[in-house]
Amino acid sequence: MSAFGSTSTADEVLAGKDLSGKTVFITGGASGLGQETARAMAAKGAHVVIAARDQAKLDQAAAAIRAGSASDQVDTIVVDLASLDSVRACGKEANERFDKIDLLINNAGVMACPLTYTADGFEVQFGTNHLGHFLLTKHLMPLVEKGADKRIVNLSSRGHHIAPVDLSDPNFENREYQPWLSYGHSKTANVLFSVGLEQRFADRGIHSYAVHPGGIATNLGRHLSEQDIAELMQRIRESAEADGKEPQPMKTVEQGAATTCWAATADELEGSGGVYCEDCHVAPVDDVSRTSGVRSYAVDRQTADDLWALSEELVGESFSN
């Protein structure tokens, strides 16, 4: 289905593509995989809009993207996904400044944080990774509807294997907080959001894809101690052993951005979203493998509907008005 794999880079995936005339909106575009996705797409002629919470970081990243892509079509916009007011303000500003969004890449994320809360009182991983993007997507949908490509890519993670989404206690009010459990629950929500978007918007030509980018050393690990990292590497080795495989090597940032670029542009995916992609392929549903695949609970349509209803209730807004 795809000529690319685990070692492909963003540039290789986009080779031969012409993205001129396309607007790509990327959250978390001032760091790591988001910045590399922006660079690679700008190098193919796209107008890229990078969104992050810190204007100074955005300016620095925009300069690096311009330098690395020879493109001057780089815009920045501030959004703090951990504040619904900031998300609404970003949505309003984006609708005023831009005519359309062809590709929306919901890439920003936080991982394994200590227990903290967003401005609106949501546990920070669920609040940032899922609810912030849920509301931002609602506010950007008028621009996506005006785009030609109409694709939405949501960065999930193999970390979704850790846990299903807990709809009865999304903010860890009635159970002990565990940083990795929360990350898994938020990353499952990212897959379910892709399924929910597909169910609601496919008939308008808008398709949505969840992506596991691989394991890449970025700023995402900022909350991990040396011991946390050692334990994580041990779990990765044990998972590979359980599956009878060699542990997958870490990817470079260039390789880590490849599956996002593939999901956003691959001709093979035209008209068929609501899927989870890894290593530049659509991954099979698999409830056993510890090293690949998407869990059935992450693509369950009823759970996607239930999460959608809960998310609308928590953000206090509906997609339909």
Ligand X SMILES: NC(=O)c1ccc[n+]([C@@H]2O[C@H](COP(=O)([O-])OP(=O)(O)OC[C@H]3O[C@@H](n4cnc5c(N)ncnc54)[C@H](OP(=O)(O)O)[C@@H]3O)[C@@H](O)[C@H]2O)c1
The residue (of 113 and 202) whose beta carbon lies closer to ligand X is: 113
Binder among 38, 42, 48, 52 for ligand X (CB under 6 A): 52
Please pick, among 83, 156, 186, 292, the residue that the annotation labels catalytic. Answer: 156
- Per the annotation, the verdict on 183 as an active-site residue is yes
Binder among 33, 62, 153, 315 for ligand X (CB under 6 A): 33
- The secondary structure of 205-226 as a DSSP string is T-EEEEEE---B-SGGGGG--H
b/e 45-77 (16+ beta carbons within 10 angstroms → b): ebbbbbbbbeeebbeebbeebbeebebebbbbb
Type of residue at 276: Y
Residue 30 found at the interface with ligand X (CB under 6 A): yes
Spatial separation of the C-alpha atoms in residues 155 and 160, rounded to whole Å: 11
Order of strands, sheet of 207-212, starting from the edge strand that comes earlier in the sequence: 74-78, 47-52, 23-27, 103-106, 151-155, 207-212, 275-278, 281-282
Binder among 22, 39, 53, 150 for ligand X (CB under 6 A): 53
Residue 219 found at the interface with ligand X (CB under 6 A): yes
Least spacing, CB of residue 113 vs ligand X, in Å: 9
Would you say 44 and 14 are in contact if contact means Cβ atoms under 8 Å apart? yes
Spatial separation of the C-alpha atoms in residues 124 and 111, rounded to whole Å: 9
Least spacing, CB of residue 251 vs ligand X, in Å: 8
Least spacing, CB of residue 54 vs ligand X, in Å: 5
- Per the annotation, the verdict on 187 as an active-site residue is yes
The residue (of 14 and 110) whose beta carbon lies closer to ligand X is: 110
Residue 28 found at the interface with ligand X (CB under 6 A): yes
- CA triplet 219, 91, 43: central angle to 5 degrees? 55
Please pick, among 187, 276, 292, 311, the residue that the annotation labels catalytic. Answer: 187
Number of residues that bind ligand X (CB under 6 A): 29
Q: Which stretch binds ligand X (CB under 6 A): 41-49, 68-76, 104-112, 291-299?
A: 104-112
Residue 166 found at the interface with ligand X (CB under 6 A): no
- Per the annotation, the verdict on 156 as an active-site residue is yes
Binder among 71, 125, 218, 303 for ligand X (CB under 6 A): 218
H or E element at residue 201: helix 179-201
Among candidates 27, 3, 5, 35, which has minimal Cα distance to 16? 3
Which sequence positions are flagged as catalytic? 156, 183, 187
Q: Name the site residues for ligand X (rule: CB under 6 A).
A: 28, 30-34, 52-54, 57, 79-82, 107-111, 128, 155, 157, 212-213, 215-216, 218-220
